[in-house]
Amino acid sequence: MQKRNSISGSLRLAALPIALAGLFNVAHAQQQAAPAAAPTLSAAEKEQAKKIYFERCAGCHGVLRKGATGKNLEPHWSKKLPDGSTQEGGTLKLGQNRLEKIIAYGTEGGMVNFDDILSKDELALMAKYIQTTPDVPPEYSFKETMDSWKVIVPVKDRPTKQMNKYNLKNMFSVTLRDTGEVALIDGDTKEIRSIVKTGYAVHISRLSKSGRYVYVIGRDGRLSLIDLWMEKPAVVAELKIGFDARSVDTSKFKGYDDKYAIAGSYWPPQYVIMDGDTLKPLKVVSTRGMTVDGEYHPEPRVASIVSSEIKPEWVVNIKETGQILLVDYSDIKNLKTTTIESAKFLHDGGWDASKRYFLVAANASNKIAAVDTKLGKLAALIDTAKIPHPGRGANFVHPKFGPVWATGHLGADVVTLISTPSDNPKYKQYKQYNWKVVQEMKHVPGNLFVKTHPKSKHFWADAPQNPEKALAESVAVWDMADLSKPKKVINVAKDSGLPETKAIKRAVHPEYSADGTEVWISLWGGKTDQSAIVVYDDKTLAVKKVITDPKMITPTGKFNVYNTQHDIY
C-alpha cells in the first residue's frame, strides 16, 4: 500500500496545501525548452474545478494561486536561487501524470492525500485545472455588501431575557462542515438543541461580550448572527461580506460592548465593520498593499481577528503581507490603524494568559509573532519548528519555566512552548525566559489544535493531518507534571464504536467543557460516513459519551460558549 504523507495548511482543514518545493528540479535544457501547452477545459469542467478548488485548495494557496501556507500553483513561475540565478517551475513543468499523483497521495513537504476524498476523474480534472491560468474573481463593493444584508428578527422583536432553560455557558457551537450548518449542543445533556443553517464550512464561532449572540462565518463569506436567548436558538441577521472568508469578532472594550462587529475576507482582501446586533455594514476597508519584504501583493487575505479588552481595538492579521493591524474603532468615520510589521504568512493565534499579548503564527515563515496590545508594538518574533499551527494555542504554568503559551505544528513532530511575561510577582523569576522557546514536547507532525484548561492537569493535542491512519484518528494527552512524553495516546476512532472504514476518520479539535471536566473531540469522517463527537472525562481519560446523531455530519470545530466568550484555552 502506498504511503500517504499528509500535512494540511489549516481548518481550512480540507484545503489542498500541495507542497511543490523540491519537485521542480528541471534540467537546464528543459528550462530552455518551449513551455508546454496548458490543457483545455470545457465550460462545465472549469466550473466544477473552480468549485473544488474553492472548497479544498484556496485556503492554503489563495484564489490567485500565488501561495501562502501552500506553495505557488500558477502554471509558470520563476524561483530565485541563492546564487542569484532563477529556476523555472510551475505546474505545467510537472505534467498531468505527476500532478495527479501528488494530489492523490500527497508529498512529504505538506500535501494531504485526496484519493479518498476526490474521485479519479476529479483528481485528473484538478491536475488539469491548476495547469491553466487562474481567473481573477470579481470585486465585492460596499453596495453589494449592503444589498446582501438581512435582518430576520428585528432587535425590537427579540427576547428581553433568556426564553429557554438551557445552561448557555456550557453550550457548544459545532461546525457541520459539509452541510453548511452549525449544531448547538447542550454540554450538560449532550443533546442537539438546534441545527442552524449557515454558510458553507463555518471556520469559527465567536461569542458576543455578553454571551448572548454567536457570530459564525462560513468559507463562502456568509456571516450569521445566532441569538441564544430565543426559545429555540436561531439566526436573527445575516450578511455576505465577500466570496471567501474566515474571521469575525465583536467590540469588547468597556463602553463598546457588542456595539460593533468586524469580519475579514479572503476574497476580496478586505474587512467589514458592522453594527453588532444587526450586522448592518458601516465600512469596508481594503487590505491590499506592500508586504514586509517591500513587494506589492494583490491578495493579502484577512486571517485571524481578535478583540482587545484593554483598548477599543481589534487585532487584524493580514496573511500574505505579514502586517498586523491594530484597528481603533472608537471613531468609525475617522478610522485609525496602527500597522505592525511581523512576518509572512500570518494565520491563527490566541491571547496569552494575561490577555495583553496576542501570539500569531507566521506559519510559512516558521515563526510566532507576539504583539503587545498595551504598547501597540511587536513584542517579539520567535523562530519555531516548521509550520506552526496554534489555533488559539494553549496557556498554562510550566513546572520549570512558569507561564507558557503552546503551539502545535503541521510540519514538525513537536509542540512548542514559549515563555510569556506576567505582572504577577510570584512569576518574576521566570522573566529571563520570556519570548524564548523553553521546550519542545515530542508529538507527531500533522497537528492542528492544542488545548488545556485552568482547572485541568492535562494537555491535549490532535494530529488529524498525520499520514498514518492510526495517528490521524488519535489524540495525545500529557500530564502537566511530566511533559517529557505523552501520558497516553487515545485512538478516538476505536473509542467511538463506529465501523472501521478505509477512509480516515480524523480526530480533530479538542475543546473543554465550561468547568474543565470534559474534553470533546470531533471524529471527522467523509460526507457519506457516520461522524461523531467523542466526549472524554478529563480526569480519568475515559469515554463518557459518543454523540452519533444522524444529523452529525462532518463535525469539525467546536466552541464552548463560556470558554470562547472569555478566551479560555
Active site residues: 57, 60-61, 111, 347, 389
- Angle, alpha carbons 526-528-530 (nearest 5°): 75
Partners of 433 in beta bridges: none
Q: What is the DSSP letter of 72?
A: P
CA distance 138 to 173: 32
Whether 2 and 105 have beta carbons less than 8 Å apart is answered as yes
Please report, for residues 160, 247, 374, 438, 523, the alpha-carbon distance to residue 527 in angstroms, rounded to integers and kept in the order given: 39, 24, 45, 41, 12
Please report, for residues 139, 200, 280, 333, the alpha-carbon distance to residue 241 in angstroms, rounded to integers and kept in the order given: 11, 13, 11, 19
* Nearest of 223, 232, 298 to residue 268 by alpha carbon: 298
- 376-409 in b/e form (b: 16+ CB < 10 A) is eeebbbbebbbbbbbbbbbbbebeebbbbbbbbb
Q: Are strands 222-227 and 213-217 parallel, antiparallel or unpaired?
A: antiparallel
CA distance 470 to 357: 36
CA distance 340 to 375: 11
CA distance 261 to 500: 44
DSSP secondary structure, 257-305, as one string: TTTEEEEEEEETTEEEEEETTT--EEEEEE--EE-TTS-EES---EEEE
- CB neighbourhood size of 169 (10 A): 17
CA distance 251 to 223: 16
Kindly list the strands in the beta sheet with 450-451, ordered across the sheet, starting from the edge strand earlier in the chain: 450-451, 458-462, 474-479, 488-491
Residue whose grid cell is 462565518 = 217
Partners of 394 in beta bridges: 406
CA distance 138 to 134: 13
